[in-house]
Amino acid sequence: MKRAKITIVGAGNVGASCALWAAAKELGDIVLIDIPEFADKTAGKALDLAECAPIERFDCKITGTSDYAHAKDSDVVIITAGIPRKPGMSRDDLVQTNVQIVKAVSEQVAKVAPNSVLIVVSNPLDAMVYTAWKVSGFPTNRVVGQAGCLDIARYRTFIAMELNCSVEDITALLLGGHGDDMVPLPRYTSVAGIPVTQLIPAARLNEIIERAKQGGGEIVKLMGTSAYYAPASGSVQMAEAIIKDKRRILPCAAYCQKEYGVGGYFVGVPCILGKGGVEKVVEVELDAAERKLLDTSVSHVKELVQVAERFLKG
């Protein structure tokens, strides 16, 4: 049986952590790619991880390089490349820089791995997924963004902390954009089948939701840098669902046309992920308040995409 192949573009904290989680899960051979200036460092990280194999007992080939030829015929490509927003940098400045980075990456990937599924992690997430789709020319089902898996993990973590119970017993759902734009749905959140609204007072639950929305900022304040373990874990969770054709229902930034009345944008929705990428967008009923929050989130996504389009055309 042919071993799966995962390429991770960007060998910084998120990319290197993706490689670690993918190796630990023994998902397949791993290629870690970064720009030529970081070629030696990337090769070193790959070698360091490969030397964990005898201890952690995983079998896979791990390559660190700046040459996209090594990504040939990858099944999944995780794009983490891009710069974080720096003090004094406007949103448009960040979009402009990362559009060019994701554009260059997507062009290279399309040449060597034309049948792969792209998982985009770069920020601003919704605009970068759109960029990867436009540049790669891939069908919409094979381009998807990782944000919801991270946001929902934070949401579930904070609920488990509040109730002092296992995170494994918490099931949750959210829609919309990443971070501030996420739309958690308490009506669809349960603990071992018990509605969370019966276990946590509404005011306290709202505080937990707000903490989840600000989860990335909380990490930055504590560490001075963006989170990387959890974003990487969410990305590899998606890759595993695709590689193993698990058909898991996970919150992802997926292309929605008629779904939720979005009209042709990538937004956070529950999806069935399998070997074809996004096999289906799952639609759930929303009440008036939830619909309003989602519409607001989608409007912000559209604004970001318009900015990205301007720089793509330029």
Question: Is pLDDT of 178 > 90?
Answer: no
Secondary structure (3-state) at 174: strand
Burial class (CB in 10 A: 0-12, 13-18, 19+), 150: buried
Host domain of residue 68: 5-145
Residue with tokens 């929605």: 256
Asked if 173 and 270 touch (Cβ cutoff 8 Å), the reply is: yes
Residue 20 within any structural domain of the chain: yes
Q: Which residues, other chains included, contact 28 with Cβ-Cβ below 8 Å and sequence gap of 6+? A: 3, 4, 5, 6, 22, 60, 75, 243
Q: What would the pLDDT profile of 119-129 be if each residue is shown by its tens digit?
A: 999 999 999 99
Secondary structure (3-state) at 198: helix
Q: Round to whole Å and give the CA distance between 34 and 39.
A: 6
Mean predicted lDDT score pLDDT of the chain:
95
The separation between CA 7 and the C-alpha centre of its own chain, rounded to angstroms, equals 15
178 is an active site residue: yes
Give residue 240's pLDDT.
98
Residue 258 within any structural domain of the chain: no
Residue 164 within any structural domain of the chain: no
> What's the whole-number mean pLDDT along residues 264-285?
97
Question: Is pLDDT of 86 > 80?
Answer: no
Residue 14 within any structural domain of the chain: yes
Residue 310 within any structural domain of the chain: no
Residue 49 within any structural domain of the chain: yes
Residue 302 within any structural domain of the chain: no
Give residue 6's pLDDT.
98
Instruction: Provide the pLDDT confidence category of residue 71 given band limits of 50, 70 and 90.
Output: very high
Among candidate residues 103, 134, 178, 302, the one labeled active-site is 178
Residue 115 within any structural domain of the chain: yes
Question: What pairing do the DSSP bridges indicate for beta strands 248-256 and 190-191?
Answer: unpaired
As a whole number of Å, the end-to-end CA separation of the chain is 45
The number of folded domains in the chain is 1
pTM to 2 decimal places: 0.97
Residue 60's CATH number: 3.40.50.720
